[in-house]
Structure 1
Amino acid sequence: MIDWSQRPRFRDKELAQIGFGDALGGMVADKLVEVCLRDSNQWVLLHIEVQAQYDANLPRRIFDYNYRIFKEYGREVASLALLADEDPNWRPQDFHIEALGTTMGISFASAKLLDYDNGYLHDSNNPFALITLAHLRSQQERHDADALLAAKWHLTRLLYEHGWSTQRIIVLFKVINGMMALQEPQQARYWHSILKLEKERKMEWITPLEQSFMDKGWQKGLQHGLEQGREQGSRDGAADLLARQLTQRFGPLPQAVRKRLHKATMEQLEAWSDAMPEAQMLKQVFE
């Protein structure tokens, strides 16, 4: 239904400016994009909410987002729930309240990643198919460290079978590596395989900061990266590194957390990296 010849307009920064997700754990609409419809040539706002685990409050939250966005912009708002959880029966699609003859609520569309066939995703030339497959294989193999390593390495090699540009391959490699977190022994084997692949393909996959992970393990590597960041004055690089590790540990980061990381001092980044190994939830890192 969307005319992709018209470039989508992302509205995420505007959401932050009007008070969405100012505080950690606050309301953060995952994505807000302005898109053009094919049939009517009309521009509408598309709100996309990504949910990786069951949450009974999701329908109410989508209702809140949808109303607040509509109130702010005075425009049509379509909401889409992208369900990345493992329960095939959980398919929320509406939220309604009725009282004394008055009904208030919302019905919204949803997409379930479990519905996609692995074979179809494997053969598709759509880069998001590969990302979806990485997510699903991580769910399927998470209890078998060697099987997860094999799946990750297969998807990494698959990057070359689509004829994509070097830039796209590097971007997707970093996404896959962040999503498919391995235990330290398997990750070390993966890094060494990547080094061989770099030489074969004459392509730099790993930055000097990431190289430290192979030599010292993820936590020591993070500390090394922070120290290197201080020496080079690269606070942004240290923040990116910590964001990557938090994503591996706790899943996709809310926009408010990413914003907080990139405003932090080196001392704050170091304190949060020290707190990460013992934290059971994302908010405990920042407490």
Structure 2
Amino acid sequence: MSMPPADFDGAWKSALEHYFPPFVAFFFPKTAALIDWQQPVTFCDKELEQLDPDLTTGKQRVDKLARVRLANGQVSYIFVHIEIQAQTDPHFSERMFCYHARIFDRERLPVASLSLLGDENHAWRPDHFGYQLGETELRLQFGAVKLLDVDLALLEESSDLMAMLALLHRDAQATRGQPEERKRRKLARFRTFLRKGYRAADLHHLIRFLDQLLRLDPVLNEQVRATIHQIEKEELGMATFVTSFEELAGKEGEARGEARGEARGEARGEARGEARGEARGLVKGQSILVLRQLERRFGPPPPEVQQGVAALSSDELLALGEALFDFARMDEVVAWLQMRD
């Protein structure tokens, strides 16, 4: 059975959305030092889409455009444009220039153009675009970090979330076509994440990155899940942590649903018993996982929260599981549930 490809784009896109300041600080410290991170970061996704030089081709990009305030004591803004490129592209430098020029033309504000190169070609190192015609000269020098150049030992020693993501990226490349080695590294990284003591929300994201980048076939993935449960008990001495909300909710819900559906189907002789049992089992599995998440983050949920979660539909449970990344207190969960009433 072949291994599914690593989802590099999905992992880095999520990192930019949830960890934009840490991303800039880790990979581009000079730019990060110019920015007042106490002020809001305004993402300009729609504007970036309109400026895409490849808009008509339908190509998918992992990029981000943000408006930030400078840390110079004045009310002064700049735009930060970031591109993450996992494969070589002969037109990459030109595209960086087109974005830079179009952003400046539209906004008339300085633009910091930054790129993270995640490919495996040591010789491919785009960092500028330009040309010269007689007395005319044009040159854009943009920030470029090659993941292959980042010292692995430094990444291993770091607890920075972006260092962990960079390690997973390198692991995915190093274990391509080696399922057993990928399985070994996936389990080792999971144990490392637990030992580094990350916040629950950060741990959720790291484990999602783990699932996106170190992907395995279903058989090996089931083996990994079973071992992960054991690692959790060894490292944390507690009930299992929710590793991948959508995946586990579906798996546990399907298992319980099948059992209930089969029992009802046998008892009543009705095929619809299985379908109903599967649906109810899925929702039950999801609600249990959400309650586990809540307990890990905020302590035991009060009865009204338990009842509120139990009353949610499958789609609502998925929405709550995602919203938990943004909540800081249990009362925010209560408010979210009240809005659903």
What TM-score does the superposition give when structure 2 sets the normalisation length? 0.58
1:62 aligns with 2:115: no
Q: Match for residue 157 of structure 1?
A: 191
CA pair 73-97 structure 1, distance change in 2 beyond 3 A: same
2:124 counterpart (90, 105, 108): 90
User: Take 2:103 and 2:60, find their aligned partners in 1: how far apart are those partners?
Assistant: 12
Q: Hey, what does 1:103 align to over in structure 2?
A: 137
CA distances 1:161-218 after superposition (whole Å, capped 9, x unpaired): 22221221122111111111112322121111223345544353146641345899xx
Residue 10 (str. 1) matches residue 47 (str. 2): no
Match of 2:239 in 1: 202
What one-letter code is carried by the residue in structure 2 that aligns with 1:134? Answer: L
Please state how far the C-alpha of 1:10 moved relative to its aligned partner. Answer: 3.5
Residue 116 of structure 1 corresponds to which residue in structure 2?
150
1:80 and 1:110 in contact (8 A); partners too: yes
Q: Secondary structure of 1:234's partner?
A: helix
Relative distance call for 1:69 and 1:184 in structure 2 (3 A) is same
Letter matched to residue 315 of structure 2: S
Letter in 2 for 1:65: Y
Which ranges of structure 2 fall in alignment gaps of 5 or more residues? 1-29, 255-277, 284-312, 322-341
SS at match of 2:221: helix
Matched length: 231
5 Å matches for 1:207-218? 209-211=246-248, 212=250
> Matches of 1:27 and 1:149 in 2, distance apart?
29
Aligned runs of 1:207-246 on 2, under 5 Å? 209-211=246-248, 212=250, 232=313, 234=315
Shift in Å, 1:142: 1.3
SS of structure 2 residue aligned to 1:88: coil
Q: Is the 1:83–1:112 contact (alpha carbons within 8 Å) kept by the matching residues of 2?
A: yes
Give the TM-score normalised by structure 1: 0.68
Counterpart contact for 1:30–1:49, Cα < 8 Å: yes
Aligned partners of 2:183 and 2:224 also within 8 Å: yes
* Cα contact 1:138–1:148 (8 A) shared by 2: yes
Structure 1 residues 173 and 24: CA distance shift in structure 2, 3 A: farther
Distance (Å, rounded) in 2 between the aligned partners of 1:28 and 1:141: 24
Structure 1 residues 126-275: aligned runs within 5 Å? 126-199=160-233, 200-206=237-243, 209-211=246-248, 212=250, 232=313, 234=315
**1:30 maps to 2:63:** yes
1:60-96 per-position Cα deviation (integer Å, ceiling 9, x unaligned): 1101111111112110001111000001121111112
Deviation, 1:149, is 0.8
The answer to whether the 8 A contact 1:54-1:85 is kept is yes
Asked whether the equivalents of residues 198 and 205 of structure 1 are also in contact (C-alpha less than 8 Å), the reply is: no
Match of 1:48 among 82, 91, 95: 82
Identity %: 25
C-alpha distance in 1 between matches for 2:238 and 2:251: 22
Q: Is the 8 A contact 2:172 2:182 kept in 1?
A: yes
- C-alpha change, 1:29 and 1:44, in structure 2 (3 Å) is farther
Structure 1 unaligned runs (5+)? 217-223, 241-287
Q: In structure 2, how many angstroms separate the alpha carbons of the residues matched to 1:125 and 1:207?
A: 21
User: How far 1:103 moved relative to its partner?
Assistant: 3.0
